[in-house]
Structure 1
Amino acid sequence: MEDEATLVTRGASGDQAAFAELVTRHRSMIHAVCVRITGDPQAAADALQETLIRAWRGLPKFRGDARFSTWLYRIAVNAAVAEAQRGADRPQPVDPFDLTPPAGAGPAFADTIADRLAVQAALRRLPPQYRAAIVLRECADHSYEEIAEILQIPLNTVKSRISRARQALVSLLQPDGV
């Protein structure tokens, strides 16, 4: 298995197979971040496609100041935030396959689905800059330093955005009247 730096160098020279391997290594996490930021599977797919197009076109200019994954996440977050802003007025589809209980599922499954839908709805109500920070921290498990690098903002701003996002999520997820 080739190391990432070699694949990046080959990809920057136009090697499509090397770029495809880089995509294979990062696609699922990038897609997950896009889904969490946009709150919509179709918008996330559009953001992922835009991310991969921008990455392919921009790879020859990649300087290596940051890790490739950090650079790719930065592109993905920007694309997902743009999609989220474009789609703010779109109705949010519900995927019926996500709601189908597995065989033998009990009443707790309905609670799990309700919790997921509530969190997705609450995330959609956060400002995009808070949503991006909290998703990178809680869903993609990036450190504060990595998030600062991905979003190109100061470390204290990352901490502030995550703190405010958590406070907002707690408020949004509390039952009415509590």
Structure 2
Amino acid sequence: MTTPRSDAQLLAAHRDGDPGAFAELVGRHTDRMWGVAVQTLADRDAAEDVVQEALLSAHRNAHRFRGDASVRTWLHRILVNACIDRIRREAARRTVPWPSHDVPSRRPDTASELATRMAVADALAELPTEQRLAVVLVDVQGFSVAEVAQILDVPAGTVKSRCARGRTRLARLLGHLREEA
């Protein structure tokens, strides 16, 4: 029985011409990357596009990976940059409010659960991009503050303050949910 190759080994094998190495790496990380993108962009179609753009960029630029961070962190940094670019492009041409799209669940929702999820998605969409990314990566996706600091290329204290500000704003935007419960 062979031991599975690490992410770094897979990326090195890809750079050395192994045709299946990058596909295996993608298989390990696509679901989580898609989760970050859909929570950040609040649009499933845009999230799919951004994940594909990020993976294509990673594939093309694998030779630039220096090993300063984990491969997972590197992939998510590429993804976050692609999300920021998409948000900027959309903001430049947006003339109507940002549409809210439901994020799929593995089980059927009751009406109140669906309303809550839609309210959370709308509230996340109202956060400034930097706060939204920090909150999604830390609170939704479970990355550590240190990992998010590497992904966003900012100090850990900045991640903490963005999360704190984002959470405060979310609490204000979603306060009505507490009153309904």
Q: State the partner residue of 2:14.
A: 11
Per the alignment, do residues 33 and 142 of structure 1 end up closer, same or farther by CA in structure 2, a change over 3 Å counting? same
1:65-124 deviations in whole A, cap 9, x for unaligned? Answer: 1100000010111111221232342652646x959x84xx7xxx1111001000000111
Structure-to-structure mapping, 1:1-178, within 5 angstroms: 1-88=4-91, 89=94, 91-92=98-99, 94=101, 98=104, 102=108, 109-175=110-176
- Report the alpha carbon displacement of residue 55 of structure 1 after superposing the two structures with TM: 0.3
Number of aligned residue pairs = 170
SS in 2 for 1:14: coil
> What is the CA–CA distance in structure 2 between the aligned matches of 1:156 and 1:163, rounded to whole Å?
10
Letter in 1 for 2:66: R
Is there any run of 5+ residues in structure 2 with no aligned partner, and where? Answer: none
Output the TM-score relative to the length of structure 1: 0.88
Unaligned stretches of 5+ residues in structure 1 = none
Aligned AA (2:142): D
Q: Which amino acid is the alignment partner of residue 77 of structure 1? A: V
TM-score normalised by L of structure 2: 0.86
**2: CA distance, partners of 1:148 / 1:15:** 31
User: What residue identity is the alignment partner of 1:140?
Assistant: Q
SS of aligned partner of 2:20: helix
> 1:132, CA displacement in angstroms?
0.5
Moved over 4 A (4+): none
